[in-house]
């Protein structure tokens, strides 16, 4: 089996793929939205601390499990299990992650479909087919189903080609495109009236809000979603990294890219909102907070684009292409989790497994679309607020309590001869054993609002 497994052909291939998974709607939509509704820069500060102190160590745990196991999430976790109980526990954690990835993809595909439909709209206006332009941005079952199907088709198309020809090749093409689009859009928006007020709101922290429990919970959830934790995705991507690579540095580079792009997205979205305000668009909700969620992306920003006149069509197109590209490099990683599981555990051919699993997930999306107002939020909550933190926490428990400490250290040494002298070596094993599971557990229990 292992001979037919793929592997990233280069360091940059892995970085682009893992950063592609991490950078998605969570960065470009979720992060600025959370920032807007949680006191601006105070949120940014808390996010940065939590991303590096909690999400990064948990991210390393998942990468290390995968690189050690050289297999899908369940098999990798089972390789470090010594008793029957461990093996069962490994199955629950690994399979739980696979299911979580599938559930996330089922609602993420719907959101990505909206992004694509909003990218089609300006093109339709430029070409002069106004009725098509109006149709693609109005909510309907058919519109949602059509664009979700197109998006799922693209995801399946890439994943069935495998690790090197699919994930790596497309991540290497799409990630630079995403970064260039983001920078061009920031450069343009910052020249407009009102942008400096937005920058001010984004970059000046209101320190009084820093310890608000809700802010902490939102920031941690956002950091975990952004690094794709608790979904088996980073375990499987870790399993495709060569033993010659230094995992600690690679993991740090991916985290840095993820956090920087979220930060850059904030430099685009928050100033854009204030530019919209300068043009007469309402950007504050009735309770005085900044508009966030779907209202931000599908109402405030489109009003801004249309107030720009003809050039606004091109800006809108660039913005929604940016969103769609970000979503695609993430969705392929979500599909890879379940596909690698079925290919390796049940011996199914990759192409067939990809089509079958992609279709099943699409059917779940159809279920969501049929009652979008209720189902979208419900599936998102189950997968991201419950599934992800619990599974990410259990992965840390696995590394800290089940995996032999010596084996952990040996794996850390692969591709990194000087590992023993690093701070990471001294702190991380202990940190993953005690601090990560406890901190994630506390925040999770708190988020249930039991007390």
Q: Which residues bind ligand PHE (CB under 6 A)?
A: 21-22, 24-27, 101, 104, 225-226, 228, 231, 233, 330, 333-334
Among residues 176, 385, 168, the alpha carbon closest in space to that of 261 is found at 176
Q: 267 or 419: whose CB is closer to ligand PHE? A: 267
Q: How far is the CB of 137 from ligand PHE (least distance, A)?
A: 22
How far apart (Å, rounded) are the C-alpha atoms in residues 405 and 82?
Answer: 13
Q: Is 313 left (phi over 0), alpha (psi -120 to 50) or beta?
A: alpha
How far apart (Å, rounded) are the C-alpha atoms in residues 355 and 77?
Answer: 26
From residue 90, how far is each of 240, 321, 426 by CA, in Å? Answer: 20, 39, 26
Q: How far is the CB of 211 from ligand PHE (least distance, A)?
A: 25
| Cβ pair 105, 233 in contact under 8 A | no
How far apart (Å, rounded) are the C-alpha atoms in residues 234 and 64?
Answer: 9
From residue 8, how far is each of 17, 21, 167, 222, 374 by CA, in Å? Answer: 9, 14, 9, 27, 39
From residue 77, how far is each of 54, 190, 281, 403 by CA, in Å? Answer: 21, 47, 51, 9
Reported as half-sphere exposure (CB side, CA atoms, 13 A), residue 262 has a value of 32
Q: How far is the CB of 330 from ligand PHE (least distance, A)?
A: 4
Tokens of 30: 């979720």
Q: What share of the chain is helix, strand, coil (3-state, %, to 5)?
A: 80, 0, 20
Q: 135 or 298: whose CB is closer to ligand PHE? A: 298
| Cβ pair 22, 258 in contact under 8 A | yes
Q: 22 or 98: whose CB is closer to ligand PHE? A: 22
Q: How far is the CB of 172 from ligand PHE (least distance, A)?
A: 18
Q: Residue 139, SS3?
A: coil
| Cβ pair 132, 369 in contact under 8 A | no
Q: How far is the CB of 86 from ligand PHE (least distance, A)?
A: 25
Q: 119 or 419: whose CB is closer to ligand PHE? A: 119
Q: How far is the CB of 135 from ligand PHE (least distance, A)?
A: 27
Q: 132 or 390: whose CB is closer to ligand PHE? A: 390
Q: For Cα atoms 216, 217, 223, give the angle at the middle one, nearest 5 degrees.
A: 90
The neighbouring-strand residues paired with 284 are 290
């Amino acid at each position: 089996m292992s001979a037919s497994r793929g592997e990233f052909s280069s360091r940059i291939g892995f970085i682009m793929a893992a950063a592609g998974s991490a950078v998605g709607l969570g960065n470009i939509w979720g992060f600025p939205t959370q920032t807007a509704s949680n006191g601006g820069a105070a949120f940014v500060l808390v996010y940065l601390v939590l991303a590096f102190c909690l999400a990064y160590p948990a991210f390393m745990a998942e990468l290390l499990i995968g690189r050690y196991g050289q297999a899908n999430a369940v098999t990798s976790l089972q390789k470090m299990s010594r008793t029957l109980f461990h093996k069962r526990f490994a199955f629950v954690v690994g399979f739980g992650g696979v299911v979580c990835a599938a559930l996330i993809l089922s609602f993420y595909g719907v959101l990505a479909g909206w992004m694509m439909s909003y990218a089609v709209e300006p093109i339709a206006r430029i070409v002069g087919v106004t009725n098509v332009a109006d149709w693609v941005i109005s909510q309907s079952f058919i519109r949602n189903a059509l664009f979700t199907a197109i998006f799922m088709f693209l995801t399946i198309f890439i994943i069935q080609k495998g690790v090197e020809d699919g994930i790596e090749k497309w991540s290497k093409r799409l990630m630079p495109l995403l970064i260039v689009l983001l920078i061009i859009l920031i450069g343009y928006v910052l020249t407009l009236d009102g942008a400096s007020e937005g920058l001010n709101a984004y970059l000046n922290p209101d320190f009084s809000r820093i310890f608000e429990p809700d802010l902490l919970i939102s920031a941690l959830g956002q950091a975990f979603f952004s690094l794709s934790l608790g979904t088996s995705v980073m375990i499987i991507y870790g399993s495709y990294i060569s033993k010659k690579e230094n995992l600690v540095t690679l993991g740090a580079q991916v985290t840095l890219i993820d956090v920087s792009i979220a930060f850059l997205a904030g430099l685009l979205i928050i100033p854009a909102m204030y530019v919209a305000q300068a043009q007469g668009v309402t950007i504050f909700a009735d309770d005085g907070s900044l508009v966030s969620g779907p209202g931000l992306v599908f109402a405030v920003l489109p009003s801004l684009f249309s107030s720009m006149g003809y050039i606004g069509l091109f800006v809108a197109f660039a913005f929604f292409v940016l969103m769609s590209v970000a979503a695609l490099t993430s969705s392929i990683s979500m599909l890879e989790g379940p596909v690698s599981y079925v290919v390796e555990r049940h011996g199914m051919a990759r192409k067939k497994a990809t089509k079958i699993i992609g279709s099943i997930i699409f059917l779940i999306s159809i279920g969501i679309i049929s009652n979008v107002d209720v189902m979208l939020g419900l599936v998102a909550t189950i997968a991201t607020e419950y599934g992800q933190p619990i599974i990410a926490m259990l992965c840390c428990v696995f590394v800290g309590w089940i995996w032999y400490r010596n084996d952990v250290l040996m794996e850390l040494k692969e591709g990194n001869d000087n590992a023993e002298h690093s701070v990471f070596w001294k702190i991380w094993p202990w940190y993953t054993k005690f601090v990560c599971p406890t901190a994630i557990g506390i925040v999770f229990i708190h988020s249930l609002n039991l007390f």
